Structure formats: structure tokens, C-alpha cells
């Protein structure tokens, strides 16, 4: 008897400040990678599908992004978060709230 199935893995890649398409707020968004792996006898063998999503922490809306977009967002998060010593770039943030 062969037991097989799939198992889902969730990775949090980055947290970014984006303007939400759903609520329109410049809120923190989590960038997540969801990998579904094929398992045989409960041993994960290979990924069947890889999906990237961003989720708004303000309203909870989830949005699908492509792998390319996810990479760009991740690079953006790293570039903006680690400015090095003595040099810090300030991101523009609108203080208004609706
Ligand atoms: Zn939102």
C-alpha cells in the first residue's frame, strides 16, 4: 500500500509597507510563500506548486503575486530595511488616515 498526499508549507519572506489595493491604507503587508509538496509515506519529496501572496495587516486582504513580483518586493524590503550605519533613507509615509 502506497500512502501519498500533499503537505503545505508557509514561509514569511518579508514585511513591507505598501498601499493596500483593498482598503487603500499604506499599511504593513506580509509577503508569504506557500509551497505545496508532494509526500510519499509522509515524506515530502518535491514541491508541486509555489505561490506567493501579500497580506494587508490592516484589513487582512490577501493578494496573489507572481514569483517575479515577490522577488522584487523582497529585494525592496531588504534594500529599505538595511541602510547600513550612518546612512538611513527615510521612506515617505503619509500620516493621514481615513
Ligand atoms: Zn488593506
Q: Give tens-digit pLDDT for 62-93.
A: 999 999 999 999 998 887 555 444 444 445 55
What pTM was computed for the model? Answer: 0.69
Q: What is the pLDDT of residues 29-59, one digit of tens each?
A: 999 999 999 999 999 999 999 999 999 999 9
Distance 90 CA to ligand 1 centre (A): 23
In the reported structure, the alpha carbon of residue 22 is separated from the centroid of ligand 1 by a whole-number distance in angstroms of 5
For the chain, what percent of residues have pLDDT higher than 70?
A: 81
Tell me which H or E stretch contains 58. Answer: none
Long-range contacts of 7-10 (CB under 8 A, 24+ apart): 7/36, 7/37, 7/39, 7/44, 8/34, 8/35, 8/36, 8/37, 9/34, 9/35, 9/36, 9/37, 10/34, 10/35
52 Cα–ligand 1 center, Å:
17
Question: From the CA of 7, how far away is ligand 1's center (Å)?
Answer: 29
Measured in angstroms, how far is the CA atom of residue 29 from the centroid of ligand 1?
8
CA of 50 to the centre of ligand 1 (A): 23
Residue 17 Cα to ligand 1 middle (Å): 11
Backbone phi, psi, residue 74, to 5°: -65, -40
Q: Which of 34, 33, 29, 32 is nearest to 61 (CA)?
A: 29
Task: Say how many Å lie between the CA of residue 19 and the centre of ligand 1.
Answer: 8
Amino acid at each position: 500500500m502506497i500512502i501519498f498526499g500533499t503537505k503545505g508549507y508557509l514561509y514569511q519572506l518579508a514585511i513591507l509597507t505598501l498601499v493596500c489595493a483593498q482598503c487603500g491604507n499604506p499599511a504593513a503587508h506580509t509577503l508569504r510563500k506557500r509551497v505545496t509538496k508532494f509526500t510519499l509515506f509522509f515524506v515530502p519529496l518535491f514541491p508541486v506548486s509555489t505561490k506567493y501572496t501579500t497580506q494587508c495587516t490592516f484589513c487582512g486582504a490577501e493578494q496573489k503575486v507572481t514569483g517575479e513580483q515577490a522577488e522584487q518586493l523582497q529585494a525592496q524590503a531588504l534594500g529599505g530595511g538595511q541602510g547600513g550605519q550612518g546612512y538611513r533613507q527615510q521612506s515617505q509615509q503619509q500620516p493621514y488616515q481615513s
